[in-house]
């Protein structure tokens, strides 16, 4: 949910790493498909490890954690600003805060241990991109979801083969099974609508007076139900500074994003209201 019992969020326990590692474990589990949790409880661990979405989700988290950790560790000014104390040294601290923020943003949990917008402009852009990732399908996470990213990327790569072999039937496969064209088209339509709504969301927030960084950050965060955003809506701040209309607009974006777009947007189409 993102709400903490302390105003400093999970940063309140920066001097107690074990608490943060426990929270990270459950953020990761909550970002995975709950069907896999059922299989794990039943002792079918191999089925979990063979799941394509789970593998990509874990690899994705690992790669970006290493990237963020490296940038934090090798930036001399960062350890001084924002994530003291270093209980087990700078490397462990960099790893812990990097992993925590990657998990919190990808799983749209909303917790923070530090202001990631102070970790160089490069990492600000990285975390902005992670706001569009989302967790696994069938999880508590918001965002676009890992499965949709996988299907879009696979379909995009297969277009090269289809161009070279126009008469061949080359379907998209997921977990060894063929994915129907209807599902692929639905995923592409969802992605296009998501990005379109993000652009419109940022435009409206910009029209209401927010600067560029705050507008795109607020739109991405609201639509993905991420929590912290960028600029004036960074982890050290909140959405209280928004005008009333801006709060209503972000409410709409959060609702649309959490209900997978189509459920909400279909209410705005004439097809829904047309009497058959």
Q: Which residues pair with 174 in a beta bridge?
A: 177
The pLDDT value recorded for residue 98 is 92
Which pLDDT band, with edges at 50, 70 and 90, does 276 fall under?
A: low
Distance CA 190, CA 23 (A): 31
Answer whether residue 138 shows pLDDT above 80.
yes
The pLDDT value recorded for residue 153 is 93
The pLDDT value recorded for residue 81 is 41
pTM: 0.89
Q: What average pLDDT score do residues 112-118 get? A: 88
The pLDDT value recorded for residue 84 is 55
Cα 13 vs. chain centroid, distance in angstroms? 23
Contact 139, 30 (CB under 8 A): yes
Distance CA 156, CA 238 (A): 38
Distance CA 22, CA 99 (A): 12
For 37-53, what is each residue's pLDDT tens digit?
Answer: 999 888 898 888 899 99
For 181-191, what is each residue's pLDDT tens digit?
Answer: 899 999 999 99
Q: What average pLDDT score do residues 235-254 get? A: 92
Which pLDDT band, with edges at 50, 70 and 90, does 262 fall under?
A: confident
Answer whether residue 235 shows pLDDT above 90.
no
Q: Give the end-to-end CA distance of the chain in Å, rounded to a whole number.
A: 41
The pLDDT value recorded for residue 89 is 74
Averaged confidence pLDDT in the chain: 89
DSSP assignment, residue 2? -
């Amino acid at each position: 949910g993102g709400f903490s019992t302390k105003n400093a969020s999970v940063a309140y326990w920066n001097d107690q790493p074990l608490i943060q590692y426990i929270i990270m474990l459950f953020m990761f589990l909550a970002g995975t498909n709950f069907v896999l949790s059922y299989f794990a409880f039943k002792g079918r661990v191999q089925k979990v490890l063979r799941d394509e979405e789970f593998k990509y989700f874990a690899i994705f988290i690992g790669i970006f954690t290493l990237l963020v950790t490296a940038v934090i560790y090798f930036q001399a000014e960062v350890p001084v600003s924002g994530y003291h104390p270093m209980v087990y040294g700078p490397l462990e601290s960099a790893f812990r805060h990097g992993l925590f923020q990657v998990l919190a943003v990808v799983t749209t949990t909303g917790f923070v241990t530090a202001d990631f917008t102070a970790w160089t402009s490069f990492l600000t852009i990285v975390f902005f991109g992670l706001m569009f990732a989302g967790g696994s399908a069938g999880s508590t996470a918001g965002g676009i979801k890992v499965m949709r990213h996988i299907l879009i990327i696979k379909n995009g790569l297969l277009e090269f083969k289809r161009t070279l072999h126009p008469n061949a039937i080359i379907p998209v496969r997921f977990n060894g099974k063929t994915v129907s064209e209807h599902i692929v088209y639905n995923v592409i339509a969802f992605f296009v609508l998501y990005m379109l709504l993000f652009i419109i969301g940022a435009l409206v927030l910009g029209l209401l007076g927010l600067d560029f960084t705050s507008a795109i950050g607020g739109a991405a965060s609201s639509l993905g139900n991420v929590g912290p955003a960028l600029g004036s809506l960074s982890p050290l701040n909140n959405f209280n500074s928004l005008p009333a209309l801006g709060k209503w607009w972000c409410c709409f974006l959060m609702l649309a994003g959490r209900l997978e777009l189509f459920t909400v947007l279909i209410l705005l189409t004439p097809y829904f209201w047309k009497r058959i």
